Amino acid sequence: MIRRAINNLLLRGKYIVNMANNLICAESKKSRPFTVIVEGNIGCGKTTFLNYFKKHKNICVLSEPIDLWRDCKGHNLLGHMYSDPKKWSFTFQSYVQLTMLNHHVLPTPCPVKLMERSIYSARYCFVEKMKRDELLSKPSAAVIDEWFQWLTKNTPINVDLIVYLRSSPEVVYRRMMERNRSEEKSVPFEYLESLHQLHEEWLYYKTLHHCPARVLTLDANLDLESIEEEYGKFEPHIWNLGILNSN
């Protein structure tokens, strides 16, 4: 009888512990926003996508921190990287990793966080490209990767959904030339072609690296009017997911 009572107490104890763990997990999920990262090649329309969702007060929209890359205590790291990638790739990608991490962990009261690119694309596409082109030495690439592995295991950079704005290299090259950013004038078509292939392998075919969340692929070759219609179709999807996450 005493043994039965002890067993009952142990079973109740396990039940209470399991319930507590479930509540902690649920509360942890509620306390962070539903996080969407918007990925794609240079010139695929990420800024247009983010601007479309800025009308919602309950969505925290975080653009790629290009201004920080252009002015790190007075140094234009983006410009340096494009003008002499062999010399500046490690410095630039180290800073990209830091600034993207800041976006991942940035607290917000909004139920949805929408980020332009991420710490994942920085590593899986851009650092990968630099490694293949030998713009990053093996020791430099190893240091960036060690930091990346540590950050993904020890910091709260959870991602719930990836939006892949899929566009052809020809389209993004034309758009890049039209927007005429000074740092991008020297970017060759072949560079965009290689980046496109890396995004395809990572997000579309899923044959390269780890995919941290499910992927929604949108046709980003459409013109501005048509692409905004596509964003409109996607809008209830992201909004409803964010609301469900906050309840």
> 88-102 b/e with 16+ CB inside 10 Å = b?
bbbebbebbbebbbe
Q: Which amino acid is at 180?
A: N
Reduced to 3 states, what is the DSSP secondary structure of residue 152?
A: helix
**CB within 8 Å of 204: residues ≥ 6 apart:** 164, 166, 215, 217
Task: Count CA within 13 A, CB hemisphere, residue 103.
Answer: 27
- Distance (Å, rounded) from C-alpha 90 to C-alpha 135? 9
**CB within 8 Å of 72: residues ≥ 6 apart:** 95
163 beta partners:
38, 216
Structure tokens at 9: 């107490």
- Radius of gyration, alpha carbons of the chain: 21
- Distance (Å, rounded) from C-alpha 99 to C-alpha 113? 16
Which of 27, 116, 134, 201 is the catalytic position?
Answer: 116
- Distance (Å, rounded) from C-alpha 80 to C-alpha 127? 16
Please name which of 138, 104, 140, 139 lies closest in space to residue 121, comparing C-alpha atoms.
104
Is 225 one of the annotated active-site residues of the chain? no
* Catalytic residue numbers, as ranges: 116
